[in-house]
Amino acid sequence: MVDQSSKAWAARTLRFGEDKQIIKGFLDLIYNENPGIAFGQLQEGGSFGRWFFVVLAVAAAFAVLYYFIRTPRNDDRVLGACSLLLAGILGNLTDRVRLGYVIDFIAVHAGSYHWPTFNVADASITLGAILLAYDMVIGHRKSAQDLAFRFLCALESPL
């Protein structure tokens, strides 16, 4: 809802060149229509590309939902990461089905370097992916350490 609301605001406010500078030299709000995928790649797909990306997003949503369902209910970090991923995927999927493109409006830059324009759904996907990657790296490390500790304890205890 936050993603779709913010995109509706951007379309009403920014579409006709009323860009807003939020933090000079760092953050602007500008309207952009992205028919491609992340970072503006593959924009020449036309109708085939649109529906290909829809199918891809639906498959990704089902994969994340499956992972979410299989995750233990007490694993808040993974559940939160999956929720962020799913919300972002569905936000951009809604645009792609409804409009044929995704509305991006957040522009971050430092000096002459400009990060590709993005939206709330993209930020949600990025944060969810970072949390999931963190859990995979740190979670496996903790699991390995716990397993090694149990193994050493078993070796030291008398039979």
Residue 123 confidence (pLDDT) above 90: yes
Residue 55 confidence (pLDDT) above 60: yes
Q: According to the model, what pLDDT value does residue 51 have?
A: 77
pLDDT tens-digit series, residues 70-113:
887 887 888 989 999 999 999 999 999 999 899 999 999 998 89
Q: What residue type is assigned to position 66 of the chain?
A: Y
Q: At what angle do helices 76-99 and 120-156 cross, to 10 degrees?
A: 150
Spell out the residues 6+ positions from residue 78 whose beta carbon is closer than 8 angstroms to its own: 67, 71, 131, 132, 135
Indicate if 104 belongs to the active site. Answer: yes
Question: 131-138: which pairs have CB atoms within 8 A and are 24 or more residues apart?
Answer: 131/77, 131/78, 131/80, 131/81, 131/84, 132/78, 132/81, 132/82, 132/85, 134/77, 135/75, 135/77, 135/78, 135/81
What's the mean pLDDT in 39-65?
Answer: 73
Indicate if 76 belongs to the active site. Answer: no
- Pick the catalytic residue from 28, 76, 104, 135: 104
Q: According to the model, what pLDDT value does residue 159 have?
A: 45
pLDDT tens-digit series, residues 72-84:
788 788 898 999 9
- Pick the catalytic residue from 3, 28, 95, 122: 122
